[in-house]
A and B are shown apart, each in its own frame.
Chain A
Amino acid sequence: DARVTQTPRHKVTEMGQEVTMRCQPILGHNTVFWYRQTMMQGLELLAYFRNRAPLDDSGMPKDRFSAEMPDATLATLKIQPSEPRDSAVYFCASLPGRTITGELFFGEGSRLTVL
């Protein structure tokens, strides 16, 4: 049963701490997205990679957020230092190289609370 796996599922941390979220995309999917979901803004695109290369990270606050894809099985999103306004659910999604439906496969999300 192929699925996108995200860790951690829940994270509570204090302001100023570093937070790293990890994502394992579905094997063979070559495009990986990071989204942030809040009640106010909905799902916002933070960054995406194709064949491990970062294509667009214009949705991320550059001073504190960074996204990498060290290999085809791992994408990371790091926040340093974290702030209370970063509290949200962060989703990773992957997309196969050839798609007719454009279906994004989402992970279950990482719920981040910054105190």
Chain B
Amino acid sequence: TQLLEQSPQFLSIQEGENLTVYCNSSSVFSSLQWYRQEPGEGPVLLVTVVTGGEVKKLKRLTFQFGDARKDSSLHITAAQPGDTGLYLCAGDRSGGSYIPTFGRGTSLIVHP
């Protein structure tokens, strides 16, 4: 069983649509990261959330950390083809040593 469950696994949408992807766990995390990975490359950090209930915005991307620090969501407004990629959440339970465990990811394709 995966410590972090991401849903949906795949998402194919048209340019301009909104979408939300989820990252859920039964464990509490001291921090949670979202990464984006493009084909043939390694993941690149988008954001870190630390406080329960925290909301962070990065242009058209909105990240929320659950109040209990067990889950998170990523909302993209007006998706663009450049948003295409694999979105990975990673949770750290080590209390700040940053030993992250990754979910399997949501593969997003945005069609022009």
**Interface residues, chain A, with chain B CB atoms under 8 Å away:** 4, 31, 35, 41-43, 45, 48, 56, 91, 93, 95, 99-104, 106-109
Contact = CB atoms under 8 A, between A and B. Distances in A.
Sorting the interface of chain B by its residue count into under 10, 10 to 19, 20 to 34 or 35 or more gives 20 to 34
B104 A106 contact: no
B99 A109 contact: no
Given A99-B98, A102-B33, A41 B42 contact: no
A109 B88 CA distance: 16
Contacts, number: 56
B27 to A, nearest CB: 15
B66 interface: no
A95 B98 contact: yes
B44 to A, nearest CB: 7
Interface in B35-94: 35, 40-45, 48, 88, 90, 92
B105 A109 contact: no
A98 B31 CA distance: 15
B92 A109 contact: no
Given A101-B48, A104-B33, 16 more contacts: A35-B102, A41-B104, A42-B103, A43-B43, A45-B99, A45-B100, A45-B102, A48-B99, A56-B99, A99-B98, A101-B45, A102-B33, A104-B43, A104-B90, A106-B41, A109-B41
